[in-house]
Chain A
């Protein structure tokens, strides 16, 4: 494990990515505790303020402290994205591994069906699902998870197919183990590394998908401090103060770039040959 951490930190992507992700997770855990102001307290006299000692990043169109809102909104933004990615990955990994293990006609049928599902753009798919279930944060989570599952299934299948050919799987089949046992105990543990890499990178896409859903009015609802919602609310007032638009954008970018870099760093660290 320490060996692995060393390899991860040796690459610039891994080091910077890990730094950013740790920073983001710290904000998720401790953000609400250290926020200097109440994120929903309106101050009509202190609207559109620039950065100052009282308001570190200035105030928004209602005089709310942007810095506090970002600290508190981290939970709504990041936790949701991570949760949706994990759920989507689990569903996808299960389908992909099963498809690779079953092989033959069943595999063909599953993959063609997944192709069909993937031909609907994931944003559109998420829009339809949220509309179906009603707009709320939990439904947005379900929507993003479902939208991610087919892509993860496809990736897992291609990794699993190479694992399927390994001797230890054939040995388990020869021992007479059940399919469920082989998928769960022999194959899944060995396809996990590439899936973790893909999952890390996808968290950044989930953050963006959630933000876009909020922008279209189908994710978090006002006055929540979700970052995507903050940007979309700021659009009408951006002529008066660019800060209310820029700071939440910077926050989204930090999360997206952080998870992307960490994913690339993990890939290099897990794959010492390249």
Chain B
């Protein structure tokens, strides 16, 4: 199934880049190249072959791990993209970690204290969280915490292996900005799942047996309410990757999002194809793992 998904993604990616108004041969030789030179290059690059033949030859190379050569730099695209992906994944994993640490307790508090002040405060936070796009939150965060307070560096990227503290300081604002919208979404989901579970008969039965509230919550309710969070977080990875693109652009982090923006602006077709494919594959693989994990944790669900 994941193979079919990736196959369709490759088709879409190839189709979009084929329609893009950019001619690889013209890009490499410049506007003033002679017709003969262009034709010769097209022939060596296989651009004169029928479309489907070009697609399968591209796909065949991708399957073998060869993502093509950048039209902009002349370097192989694969190594550059995967190195950039590493930095983006660090950003993404830290953001998901921060989000889980904050969103799950917030959701639980809101559900348990439903209708009370704590619940209203949590919903206030979640509405505020979805009020602004990342680039606005990021800009305001830089203005307040870097320019006014001088607590954190405004932009830039320092590898953790080079200087751990400085690297971490550079990651604080990007990670916080990415997690804001996710925290808002996931805490609401946790709340509504838990509210539903708390109304079921087996919870009432457990309470009637005389088990203390805290114990019912921990042993019976949370186990069932938190399971769907896996699926929700996995689906949010798509949104997260979009956020990563914007945040990397603003904070000048050399991740895959930044590479993609550069590639799109330069109409560097092989780099665009590779970047989109890697992003879509990341999303599909995360969701695939989430499905397996869910089935493993909840024996009632079977996937074929």
Q: Which residues on A are within 8 Å of B, measured CB to CB? A: 112-113, 115-124, 127-129, 131-132, 204, 208-209, 211-212, 215-216, 228, 231-232, 234-235, 238-239, 242, 245-246, 249, 252-253, 256-257, 260-261
Contact = CB atoms under 8 A, between A and B. Distances in A.
Contacts, number: 125
B7, B136, B280, B287 — most chain A CB neighbours (10 Å) = B136
B4 to A, nearest CB: 6
Given A112-B5, A119-B238, A120-B9, A215 B127 contact: no
B193 interface: no
B98 interface: no
Interface string B248-274: 010000000000110010010000100
A128 B272 contact: yes
Given A120-B9, A132-B19, A211-B133, 6 more contacts: A115-B5, A121-B238, A121-B239, A242-B143, A245-B143, A249-B140
User: DSSP majority for the B interface?
Assistant: helix
Interface in B21-68: 21
Interface string B1-17: 10011111100110010
B94 interface: no
Interface of B: 1, 4-9, 12-13, 16, 19-21, 127-128, 130-136, 139-140, 143, 147, 238-239, 241-243, 245-246, 249, 260-261, 264, 267, 272, 276, 279-281, 283-284, 287
Contacts of B132: 208, 249, 252-253, 256
A224 B287 CA distance: 40
B133 A124 contact: no
A239 B140 CA distance: 11
A121 B136 contact: no
Nearest to A209: B133
Contact of A257 (B20, B127, B135): B127
Contacts of B143: 238-239, 242, 245
Contacts of B242: 121-124
Contact of B139 (A245, A253, A257): A245
B245 A235 contact: no
Contacts of A113: 8
Nearest to A17: B127
Given A116-B5, A120-B280, A216-B261, A211 B135 contact: yes
Contact of A212 (B140, B239, B246, B267): B246
Contact of A216 (B238, B249, B284): B249
A235 B19 CA distance: 34
A212 B134 contact: yes
B46 to A, nearest CB: 22
B239 to A, nearest CB: 7
A128 B13 CA distance: 9
B16 A119 contact: no
A136 to B, nearest CB: 14
A128 B21 CA distance: 12
